[in-house]
Chain A
Amino acid sequence: MSKLYTGAEIVFKCMEDQKVEFIFGYPGGAVLPIYDELKNHDDIKHILARHEQGAGHAAEGYARSCGKPGVVLVTSGPGATNVVTALTDAYMDSIPLVCISGQVPTHLIGTDAFQECDTTGITRPCTKHNWLVKDVKDLAKTIHKAFEVATTGRPGPVLVDIPKDIQFQKAKYTNFKKQKKLNGKSNNRFSQKDIDKLIDMMSKAKQPIFYTGGGVINSGPKASEKLRELVSITSFPITSTLQGLGSFPGDDNQFLGMLGMHGTYEANNAMHDCDLMINIGARFDDRITGKIDEFSPKSKKVHIDIDPSSINKNVKVDLPIVGDVSDVISLLIKTIKKNKPNFLKSNKQNTSKWWEQIAKWRSVNSLNFINSDKTIKPQFAIQRLYELTKNKDTFITTEVGQHQMWAAQHYKFDKPNRWMTSGGLGTMGYGLPAAVGVQIAHPDKLVVDIAGEASVLMTMQEMSTAVQYNLPIKIFILNNEYMGMVRQWQELLHEKNYSESYTAALPDFVKLAEAYGCAGIRAKTPDELDQKIQEMIDVKKPVIFDCLVDKEENCFPMIPSGKPHNQMLLGPNDQKQNKITGKGKTLV
Chain B
Amino acid sequence: MAKSKSAYSDPGKKGKLDTHIIVVWVDNEAGVLARVAGLFSGRGYNIESLAVAEVDPKRGISRITIVTTGTPQVIEQIKLQLGKLIPVHKVADFMRGDKKIIFKEMALLKLVGNTAKRNKALKVCKKFNPVVLDKTQKSVVLQITALRRDIDTVMGDLKKFGLVSVSRTGAVAMTRGAEIFK
Residues of A within 8 A of B (CB): 120-121, 124-125, 128-129, 132, 149, 286, 289-293, 307-309, 311-313, 316, 489, 493-494, 561-562, 587-588
Residues of B within 8 A of A293 (CB): 12-13
Chain B residue nearest to A158 in the complex (CB): B86
Which residues of chain B from 159 to 179 have a CB within 8 Å of any chain A CB? Answer: none
CB distance A312 to B73 under 8 Å? yes
Q: How far is the CA of A502 from the CA of B14 in the complex (A)?
A: 39
CB distance A309 to B83 under 8 Å? yes
In the complex, which of the residues B10, B30, B42, B73 contacts A562, with contact meaning CB atoms closer than 8 Å? B10
CB distance B9 to A561 under 8 Å? yes
Distance (whole angstroms) from the CB of A486 to the closest CB of chain B: 10
CB-CB under 8 A for A312 and B76, given A124-B35, A307-B84 = yes
B77 at the A/B interface (Cβ < 8 Å)?
yes
10 shortest interchain CB distances as A-B pairs: A309-B80, A129-B86, A562-B9, A562-B10, A493-B5, A293-B12, A125-B42, A291-B9, A309-B81, A292-B12
Chain A residue nearest to B1 in the complex (CB): A587
Chain A residue nearest to B6 in the complex (CB): A561
Chain A residue nearest to B5 in the complex (CB): A493
Q: What is the size category of the interface that chain B forms with chain A?
A: 20 to 34
Residues of B within 8 A of A312 (CB): 73, 76-77
Q: How far is the CA of A493 from the CA of B3 in the complex (A)?
A: 9
CB distance A561 to B8 under 8 Å? yes
Residues of A within 8 A of B35 (CB): 124
Residues of B within 8 A of A (CB): 1, 3-10, 12-13, 30-31, 34-35, 38, 42, 73, 76-77, 80-81, 83-86
CB-CB under 8 A for A309 and B86, given A291-B10, A561-B7 = no
For the complex with contacts A312-B77, A588-B4, A588-B5, 15 further pairs of A-B residues with Cβ separation under 8 Å are A124-B34, A124-B38, A129-B85, A149-B86, A286-B8, A286-B9, A291-B10, A308-B84, A309-B80, A309-B81, A312-B73, A494-B5, A561-B6, A561-B7, A562-B4
Chain A residue nearest to B78 in the complex (CB): A309
Distance (whole angstroms) from the CB of B51 to the closest CB of chain A: 22
CB distance B80 to A588 under 8 Å? no
Residues of B within 8 A of A316 (CB): 73
Q: How far is the CA of A124 from the CA of B37 in the complex (A)?
A: 11
Distance (whole angstroms) from the CB of A334 to the closest CB of chain B: 29
In the complex, which of the residues A124, A132, A290 contacts B9, with contact meaning CB atoms closer than 8 Å? A290
Residues of B within 8 A of A129 (CB): 85-86
Residues of B within 8 A of A286 (CB): 8-9
Q: How far is the CA of A290 from the CA of B10 in the complex (A)?
A: 10
Distance (whole angstroms) from the CB of A500 to the closest CB of chain B: 16
CB-CB under 8 A for A561 and B4, given A292-B12, A312-B76 = yes
Chain B residue nearest to A310 in the complex (CB): B80
Distance (whole angstroms) from the CB of B126 to the closest CB of chain A: 46
CB-CB under 8 A for A313 and B9, given A124-B31, A124-B34 = no
Q: How far is the CA of A125 from the CA of B5 in the complex (A)?
A: 29
Chain B residue nearest to A316 in the complex (CB): B73
CB distance A132 to B30 under 8 Å? yes
Q: How far is the CA of A56 from the CA of B42 in the complex (A)?
A: 23
Q: How far is the CA of A292 from the CA of B35 in the complex (A)?
A: 30
Residues of A within 8 A of B7 (CB): 489, 561
Distance (whole angstroms) from the CB of A87 to the closest CB of chain B: 14
6 CB-based A-B contacts, threshold 8 Å: A128-B84, A132-B31, A291-B10, A562-B8, A588-B4, A588-B5
Chain A residue nearest to B35 in the complex (CB): A124
Q: How far is the CA of A309 from the CA of B12 in the complex (A)?
A: 20
Residues of B within 8 A of A291 (CB): 9-10
Distance (whole angstroms) from the CB of A401 to the closest CB of chain B: 13
Residues of A within 8 A of B81 (CB): 309
Residues of A within 8 A of B77 (CB): 309, 312-313
CB distance A121 to B80 under 8 Å? no
Residues of B within 8 A of A120 (CB): 31
Q: How far is the CA of A125 from the CA of B9 in the complex (A)?
A: 24
Residues of B within 8 A of A124 (CB): 31, 34-35, 38
Residues of B within 8 A of A311 (CB): 80
Q: How far is the CA of A149 from the CA of B85 in the complex (A)?
A: 11
Residues of A within 8 A of B73 (CB): 312, 316
Residues of B within 8 A of A132 (CB): 30-31
CB distance B80 to A128 under 8 Å? no
Chain B residue nearest to A307 in the complex (CB): B84
Distance (whole angstroms) from the CB of A97 to the closest CB of chain B: 16
